[in-house]
Structure formats: structure tokens, C-alpha cells
Structure 1
Amino acid sequence: MRYDDYFRPFSFWIADLEQEVARHTRALPRFCGVTAQGWPYCPGVGRLAAFLRVPGGLVWWGERKGRAYWMWQPLKPGE
């Protein structure tokens, strides 16, 4: 991910984030939505404990049955 990614809409780089999740988990990624502040919860998986910091926010994920369920948490620049 590049610094310029702060300025691209989320929908333009969702595929890049899925590749990052797949690389870190070696599981098939599945996008579950956008989360607000706090510790994200994904139905069927529970609390998502693993995270990766990327430009513009955090990617949280949890693995279950060979899939990596992940959510996006946007952050303001500087957070």
C-alpha cells in the first residue's frame, strides 16, 4: 500500500486489501463490511482480533473454516 492510497476511494482498492489479508492468513478472504471505533465483531466469527495497519485505516480479520472474514476501519490521517 502506498501513501497515495489515502486519497483513493475505498472501493478502488478493496481488491488490494483482500490480497493483503490473503497473504497474512493464507485463507480465502471475505469482506464483511466497515466498522466504527472499537473492537469489531463479525457474526459467525466473533470479535476480530488480528489487524493490519494500512494507509487510511485498519483491516481487522478473523479466520473460520478456511476463510478470513475481514472488516475495514477507517482512521483520520495522523491517528
Structure 2
Amino acid sequence: MSDKIWKRAEIESPCIKICVIHPESRLCTGCLRSIDEIGAWSRMSAEVRRAVMDELPTRAGALTKRRGGRAARLARKP
């Protein structure tokens, strides 16, 4: 796969290629953007993208650790 899309001449994307949407916050655990922001990123103006980028550091606290996921559910089954 080519990384040309990651090196376009526009504002850098916060994507780190770890795309997992947190079930409660609905934010990507990799880049901290919402699904709507991710989908609209290529159509956003540079000013709107910059505003999102500036807000991302404040979103880290919105993610709470999940408690075990599938492995924990399987361990609890009789």
C-alpha cells in the first residue's frame, strides 16, 4: 500500500493508522477524532481542520479504559 495519501500538501492528518472507535465516547482511540470528523476531513477547510487539531489534546480524557472486552466475558462464562 502506498502512503501517498498520508503525504498530501494539506494540513497533516492526526491519523496514526490505529482506527478503533471507542464505544462510549465515539472517538477514534488512535487520533481522537469523531466519526463525523474522520469522514469529513478531506472536505474540511484548512481553518476547520486546524480547529479540530487544536482541540484533540483535550479529548484524551474522554476515553475510559474498557474492562476486559471479549476475553473478560469469556472468562466469566461458566
Under a length normalisation based on structure 2, what TM-score does the superposition of the two structures give? Answer: 0.24
Larger radius of gyration: 2
Point out the structure with the larger helix share. Answer: 2
Identify the structure with the greater strand proportion.
Answer: 1
